[in-house]
Amino acid sequence: MKRTTKVMLGVMAAVGGAGCSSDDASLPPKPTDPECGRYEFDYDDGVWECEDTSSSHYGHSYHGGKYYSSKSKLYSDSGYQSYRNSAAFKSGFGSGSKSSGS
């Protein structure tokens, strides 16, 4: 294999792998509610969302132990507003500066 090809493969592997290495330890804990079997993290809002189409919580955001059926309800919650304005949120996963492969 030519040196250029090896270098390009190394660069592609590094770039491709960058999105897969996430700092999941900094995420809020995933909900354990048996009513929703699948969650996905919304990095823009810093909340978990129920992605289980058979759940009554499907499409709802989860924050602070509660489900929110709409973004406007989530955004108007005082607990969420405090969280959203926190230094940890602004510098971490909610800042839009980090990515995950999920």
Residue 28's pLDDT is 86
Say if 53 falls within a structural domain: yes
Task: State how many domains the chain has.
Answer: 1
Say if 22 falls within a structural domain: no
Say if 57 falls within a structural domain: yes
Of residues 58 and 25, more confidently modeled? 58
Tell me the β-bridge partners of 66: 63
Say if 4 falls within a structural domain: no
Residue 30's pLDDT is 92
Say if 1 falls within a structural domain: no
The per-residue b/e assignment along 82-97, b for 16 or more CB within 10 angstroms, e otherwise, is: ebbeeeebeebbbeee
What is the rounded CA–CA span in Å between residue 87 and residue 8?
A: 38
Domain residue limits at 59? 34-96
Q: What is the pTM of this model?
A: 0.64
Q: Which of 49, 91, 51, 94 minimizes the C-alpha distance to 74?
A: 49
- pLDDT tens, 2-31? 554 444 444 444 444 444 445 566 788 899
What is the rounded CA–CA span in Å between residue 96 and residue 2?
A: 38
Say if 42 falls within a structural domain: yes
Q: Are 35 and 57 in contact (CB under 8 A)?
A: yes
**pLDDT, the chain, mean:** 77
